[in-house]
Amino acid sequence: MPVEHAFPDSAAKHAQGGFETEKMSLSMGPSHPSTHGVLRLQMELDGEIVTKADPVIGYLHRGDEKIAENMTYNQFVPYTDRLDYLAPLANNMAYAIAVEKLAKLEVPARCQAIRVITAEMARISAHLLGLGAFGIDVGAWTVFLYSFTEREKLYKLFEELTGARFTTSYSRIGGVARDVPPGWTDRVGAFCDQFLPLLEEILDLLTRNKIFVDRTAGVGVISRADAIAYGLTGPNLRASGVPLDLRKDKPYSGYEQYEFDIPVGANGDGYDRYLVRGEEMRQSVRIIKQAIAKFPEGKWYAEDARRIFAPRKDKVLTSMEELIQNFMIVTEGPQMPAGEVYFEAENPKGALGFYVVSKGGGVPWRLKIRAPSFCNLSILPRVCVGAMVSDVVSILGSLDFVMGECDR
Partner 1 sequence: MVSASTDLAYNSKIEGEVIVSRADAVINWIRSSSMWPMPMGLACCAIELMATAASRFDIARFGAEVMRFSPKQSDVMIVAGTVTYKMASPLRRIYDQMSDPKWVIAMGACASTGGMYRSYAVLQGVDRIVPVDVYVSGCPPRPEALLDALIKLQGKVKREPSAGKLLSA
Partner 2 sequence: MPAAADAVAAVKARWPGVTDRPSLDHPAVNVPPADLLAVLGSLQSAHGFDMLTDVCGVDWSAEANPRFTVVYHLFSTTTHDYLRIAAACADATLPEMPSATALWPAADWHEREAYDMYGIRFTGHPDLRRILMWDGYPYFPLRKDFPLAGMETELPDAEVAAETKVGTIAAPMAGGPFVASAGEINLTDAEPRAKDESWTEKRPKPGT
E-assigned strand segments in 154-195: 171-172, 175-176
Instruction: Tell which one of 14, 23, 62, 224 touches partner 1 (CB under 8 A).
Output: 62
Instruction: Tell which one of 82, 172, 215, 247 touches partner 1 (CB under 8 A).
Output: 82
Q: Helix, strand, coil % (nearest 5) of the chain?
A: 50, 15, 40
Q: Which residues contact 197 (CB under 8 A, 6 or more apart)?
A: none
- C-beta of 63: minimal distance to partner 1 in Å? 3
Do residues 367 and 65 lie in contact, with contact meaning Cβ atoms separated by under 8 Å? yes
* CB hemisphere CA count around 305 (13 angstroms): 26
> What whole-number distance in Å separates Cα of residue 63 and Cα of residue 49?
36
Phi then psi dihedrals of residue 376, to 5 deg: -65, -35
> What whole-number distance in Å separates Cα of residue 102 and Cα of residue 361?
11
Residue 339 interacting entry, from partner 1, partner 2, none, C-beta within 5 to 8 Å by type: partner 2
| Interface stretch with partner 1, choices 14-22, 26-34, 218-226, 247-255 (CB under 8 A) | 26-34
Q: Is 66 in the site for partner 2 (CB under 8 A)?
A: yes
Residue 268 interacting entry, from partner 1, partner 2, none, C-beta within 5 to 8 Å by type: none
Q: Which residues contact 189 (CB under 8 A, 6 or more apart)?
A: 288, 289, 292
Q: Is 129 in the site for partner 1 (CB under 8 A)?
A: yes
Find, among 125, 180, 193, the residue nearest to 155 by Cα: 125
Q: Is 120 in the site for partner 2 (CB under 8 A)?
A: no
Nearer to partner 2, 188 or 310 (CB): 310
Instruction: Tell which one of 100, 400, 405, 407 touches partner 2 (CB under 8 A).
Output: 407
Q: Is 138 in the site for partner 1 (CB under 8 A)?
A: no
Nearer to partner 1, 81 or 322 (CB): 81
Residues 288, 293, 294, 299, Cα dihedral to 10°: 80
Give CA angle at 299 (153, 178), nearest 5°.
40
Query: Residue count at the site for partner 1 (CB under 8 A)?
Result: 33
Of 262-321, binders to partner 2 (CB under 8 A) are: none
Here's the x/- map for partner 2, 97-116, by CB under 8 A: it reads as ----xx-x------------
Look up residue 301 and give its DSSP letter: B
> What whole-number distance in Å separates Cα of residue 114 and Cα of residue 99?
18
Instruction: Tell which one of 28, 38, 53, 275 touches partner 1 (CB under 8 A).
Output: 38
Nearer to partner 2, 122 or 377 (CB): 377
Nearer to partner 2, 232 or 281 (CB): 232
Task: Enumerate binding residues for partner 2 (CB under 8 A).
Answer: 57-58, 61, 63, 65-67, 69-72, 75, 101-102, 104, 228-231, 233, 242, 244, 249-250, 328, 331-333, 335, 337-344, 351, 353, 355, 357-366, 368, 370, 374-375, 377-378, 382, 407-408
